[in-house]
């Protein structure tokens, strides 16, 4: 529990620097406390034994915990009678409208099967989605950690060839409140036939490896925002659990290996060496305290999902569209990270701001004797943003910024800088209109010497700068090259920016707002009977895009598809329409 600190700010900073858990005196005197709502999805055959293991692990803190035991409806238990399950367990249908401070999903003896071959895989996917939107922090144990890593990040499991059984020594790999208080090296039980390779986990920008060993691989990893925790072992095991599993396998004629580092001198006739319980107790307590209790909102219904929303040029073409966009953003408090394009056409005869800026560049770089036209194009850019800002009654500093940016455009001969100023100014104007913070894409998106996105640096900076920020507006279309200059994507690149931000933020949903109702069965301008496709897969969207449909940039699909982030294409002018939902696998209707 925390130490109460008075207004001594020097001491408060020293507490923070030394990782001492403390809260200010004012918060301590006004703090609301309620029982934590924890769900346990029990996938183990012997459900009663697993219940006891986990309840013992969770009961070692002074915090009150209200438990819901949850089971899969699509899988009949062979070892626990239905009367007991009906009386003590709930199904997803019964809890789908609940919010939970924490959720634990246990392992299951199904490692020999591919994930899609498991008869309750569809139901488990629904539980994983439920964890995104209805749970503050989720803890996945053993096989469930592998299933979750596969579902959320596409990380494949690897067969070990023989069972990894025993108690193994691990080293801390990165600082985390989850492992606070652990020694640099600690022991943890393992009982599994498959693993997630460390090299594959390190390829995922949103994952942190917290504990690992050369002998037994990764023990603990988490998402960067620490709302997902993946533990490959069984800290909740009793003293004799590994022994009972060993005897069970012997009786089955499996001829199992002796659990390593478990019996004294690795001899089953000797006593069991219990050396994991203090570490396991601390890890469970830290999860409950730091990742759940100290982070979850007091009003549990306020647990939210993260939504990155991108608004295209047609959505921000004039002040009226800005007003619609503001209403859409503020109608859902989950829309905290906004990506924008430059102003698009206001009518068929109009010119997009990016086209005007492209004209500015071409006229200047070719040194044509048409300075009047170039000035006219620059003037149109200035008047466009000035008109929007005046109609929105924005403060004077916005007009100063517009004037300064137009001067920079006049002085520059760098194409990418010039044509990127539409997104830059639109993001500044929308940020001022919303009262949000502006963060420049050049601080988040980085290109390497080959002109490709430097994913490692980009996702690291997104996590560093955005995971602790709420309510920000980010310009799309550009980033920074390896020399520190502005570099743009190809046209339509704001879609790519939005997808990259969504993946870097580990968003639960990526919304792309534009001027169409979603992906249509045909071009509605040609075929009046064209209708919106309600759901499709990433692969189907790519096929449509490659066949010439201009609804979404093909290169923008990969970031969200890789991270299994659902993408919804919506119409700013018809915000009540559901549009088209694109995700890993199209649901059957």
89 vs 4, which has greater pLDDT?
Answer: 89
Pick the closest to residue 53 from 240, 227, 181 (CA basis): 240
- What pLDDT, on the 0 to 100 scale, is given for residue 76? 80
For the segment 184-196, the average pLDDT, to the nearest whole number, is 96
Instruction: Tell me the CA distances in angstroms from 460 to 283, 307, 457, one per residue in order.
Output: 26, 19, 5
Residue 131 CA, chain-centre distance (Å), reads 12
Give dist(CA 495, CA 370) in Å, integer: 34
H or E stretch at 39: strand 36-41
In the DSSP assignment, the letter for residue 114 is -
User: Catalytic annotation on 236?
Assistant: yes
**Share in percent of the chain as helix, strand, coil (round to 5):** 40, 20, 40
Copy the structure tokens of residue 477: 């279309």
Copy the structure tokens of residue 291: 């990742």
- Torsion angle of C-alpha atoms 401, 407, 410, 411, degrees rounded to 10: -110
pLDDT grade, residue 37 (50/70/90)? very high
**Cross-strand pairs, 337:** 308, 472
Pick the closest to residue 383 from 337, 341, 339, 343 (CA basis): 343
To 10 degrees, what angle do helices 396-411 and 371-391 make?
Answer: 160
Copy the structure tokens of residue 414: 């760098």
In the DSSP assignment, the letter for residue 44 is S
H or E stretch at 89: strand 89-90
To 10 degrees, what angle do helices 371-391 and 415-434 make?
Answer: 10
- What pLDDT, on the 0 to 100 scale, is given for residue 32? 62
Phi then psi for 369, rounded to 5 degrees? Answer: -85, 55
- pLDDT beyond 70 at 17: no
**Cross-strand pairs, 338:** 309, 473
Which residue among the candidates 51, 200, 226, 236 is catalytic per the annotation?
236
Q: Is the dihedral of CA 130, 132, 137, 140 positive or negative?
A: positive
The residue assigned the tokens 């979603």 is: 518
Give dist(CA 407, CA 271) in Å, integer: 80
- pLDDT beyond 50 at 528: yes
User: Catalytic annotation on 234?
Assistant: yes
- What pLDDT, on the 0 to 100 scale, is given for residue 535? 94
* 286-301 residue pLDDT tens: 999 999 988 887 777 7
pLDDT grade, residue 4 (50/70/90)? low
Phi then psi for 273, rounded to 5 degrees? Answer: -95, 105
Residue 343 CA, chain-centre distance (Å), reads 29
Q: For 344-388, give the DSSP string.
A: --SSTT---HHHHHHHHHHHHHTT-S-HHHHHHHHHHHHHHHHHH
* 489-513 residue pLDDT tens: 987 789 999 999 999 999 999 999 9
Pairing label, strands 486-488, 478-480 = antiparallel
* Residues present in the chain in total: 589
* 305-361 residue pLDDT tens: 677 788 988 999 999 999 999 999 888 877 878 889 999 999 999 999 999 998 888
User: Catalytic annotation on 219?
Assistant: no
Give dist(CA 439, CA 431) in Å, integer: 9
The CATH architecture to which 33-159+170-239+280-301 belongs is: 3-Layer(aba) Sandwich (3.40)
Pick the closest to residue 227 from 299, 138, 304 (CA basis): 138
Phi then psi for 220, rounded to 5 degrees? Answer: -135, 135
Pick the closest to residue 443 from 408, 471, 480, 483 (CA basis): 480
Specify whether the CB–CB gap between 486 and 446 falls below 8 A: no
Average pLDDT of every residue of the chain: 89
Lowest model confidence (mean pLDDT) among 73-77, 416-420, 476-480 = 73-77
CB under 8 Å to 157, separation ≥6 — which residues?
Answer: 111, 146, 150, 194, 195, 196
The residue assigned the tokens 């709502």 is: 37
Lowest model confidence (mean pLDDT) among 10-14, 123-127, 247-251, 458-462 = 10-14
Residue spans per domain, the chain: 33-159+170-239+280-301, 304-347+428-583
- pLDDT beyond 60 at 184: yes
- pLDDT beyond 70 at 8: no
Phi then psi for 85, rounded to 5 degrees? Answer: -65, -45
* 535-587 residue pLDDT tens: 999 998 888 877 766 667 778 888 999 999 999 999 999 999 999 999 987 55
Give dist(CA 489, CA 29) in Å, integer: 52
Copy the structure tokens of residue 50: 């697993």
* 85-110 residue pLDDT tens: 999 999 999 999 999 999 999 999 99
Give dist(CA 441, CA 352) in Å, integer: 21
- pLDDT beyond 90 at 139: yes
Pick the closest to residue 576 from 310, 334, 324 (CA basis): 324
For the segment 58-80, the average pLDDT, to the nearest whole number, is 87
- Which parts are annotated binding residues for substrate? 163, 191, 248
% of the chain beyond a pLDDT of 90? 68
Residue 352 CA, chain-centre distance (Å), reads 33
Class of the CATH domain delimited by 304-347+428-583: alpha beta
Pairing label, strands 89-90, 207-213 = unpaired
For the segment 12-30, the average pLDDT, to the nearest whole number, is 50
Q: What angle do CA 155, 129, 545 make, to 5 degrees?
A: 70
**Cross-strand pairs, 223:** 207
Which residue among the candidates 53, 111, 134, 142 is catalytic per the annotation?
142
């Amino acid at each position: 529990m925390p130490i109460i600190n008075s207004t001594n700010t020097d001491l408060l900073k020293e507490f923070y620097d030394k990782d001492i858990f403390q809260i200010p005196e004012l918060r301590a005197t006004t703090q609301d406390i309620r029982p934590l709502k924890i769900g346990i999805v029990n996938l183990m055959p012997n459900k009663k034994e697993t219940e006891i293991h986990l309840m013992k692990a969770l009961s070692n803190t002074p915090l009150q915990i209200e438990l819901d035991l949850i089971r899969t409806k699509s899988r009949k238990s062979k070892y626990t009678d239905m009367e007991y399950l009906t009386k003590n367990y709930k199904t997803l249908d019964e809890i789908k409208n609940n919010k939970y401070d924490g959720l634990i999903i246990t392992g299951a003896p199904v490692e020999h099967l591919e994930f899609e071959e498991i008869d309750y895989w569809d139901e488990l996917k629904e539980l994983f989605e439920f964890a995104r939107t209805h749970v503050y922090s989720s803890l996945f144990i053993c096989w469930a950690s592998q299933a979750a890593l596969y579902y959320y990040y596409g990380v494949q499991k690897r067969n070990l060839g023989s069972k990894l059984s025993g108690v193994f020594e691990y080293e801390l790999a990165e600082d985390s409140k989850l492992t606070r208080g652990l020694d640099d090296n600690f022991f943890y039980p393992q009982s599994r036939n498959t693993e997630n390779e460390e090299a594959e986990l390190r390829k995922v920008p949103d994952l942190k490896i917290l504990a690992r060993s050369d002998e037994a691989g990764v023990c603990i990893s988490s998402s960067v925002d620490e709302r997902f925790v993946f533990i490959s072992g069984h800290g909740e095991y009793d003293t004799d659990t590994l022994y009972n599993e060993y005897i069970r396998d012997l009786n089955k004629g499996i001829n199992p290996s002796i659990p390593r580092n478990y019996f004294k001198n690795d001899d089953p006739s000797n006593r069991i060496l219990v050396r994991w319980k203090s570490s396991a107790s601390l890890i469970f307590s830290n999860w409950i305290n730091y990742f759940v209790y100290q982070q979850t909102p007091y009003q549990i219904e306020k647990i939210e999902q993260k939504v990155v929303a991108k608004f295209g040029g047609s959505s921000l073409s004039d002040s009226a569209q800005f007003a619609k966009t503001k209403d859409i953003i503020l109608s859902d408090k989950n829309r905290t990270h906004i990506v924008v394009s430059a102003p698009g056409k206001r009518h068929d005869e109009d010119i997009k701001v990016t086209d005007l800026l492209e004209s500015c560049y071409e006229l200047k770089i070719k040194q044509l004797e048409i300075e009047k036209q170039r000035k006219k194009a620059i003037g149109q850019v200035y008047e466009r943003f000035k008109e929007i800002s005046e109609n929105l009654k924005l403060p004077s500093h916005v007009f100063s910024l517009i004037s300064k940016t137009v001067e920079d455009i006049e002085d520059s001969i760098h194409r990418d800088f010039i044509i990127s100023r539409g997104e830059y100014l639109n993001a500044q104007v929308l940020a001022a209109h919303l009262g949000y913070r502006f963060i420049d894409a050049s601080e988040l998106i980085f290109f390497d010497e080959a002109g490709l996105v430097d994913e490692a640096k980009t996702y690291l900076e997104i996590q560093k700068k955005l995971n602790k920020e709420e309510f920000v507006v980010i310009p799309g279309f550009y980033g920074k090259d390896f020399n520190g200059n502005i570099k743009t994507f190809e046209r339509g690149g704001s879609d790519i920016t939005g997808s990259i931000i969504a993946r870097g933020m580990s968003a639960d949903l990526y919304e792309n707002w534009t001027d169409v109702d979603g992906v249509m069965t045909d071009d509605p301008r040609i075929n009046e009977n064209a209708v919106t496709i309600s759901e499709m897969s990433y692969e189907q969207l790519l096929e449509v895009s490659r066949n010439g449909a201009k609804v979404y940039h093909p290169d923008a699909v990969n970031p969200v598809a890789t991270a299994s982030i659902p993408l919804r294409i919506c119409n700013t002018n018809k915000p009540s329409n559901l549009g088209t939902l694109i995700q890993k696998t199209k649901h059957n209707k």
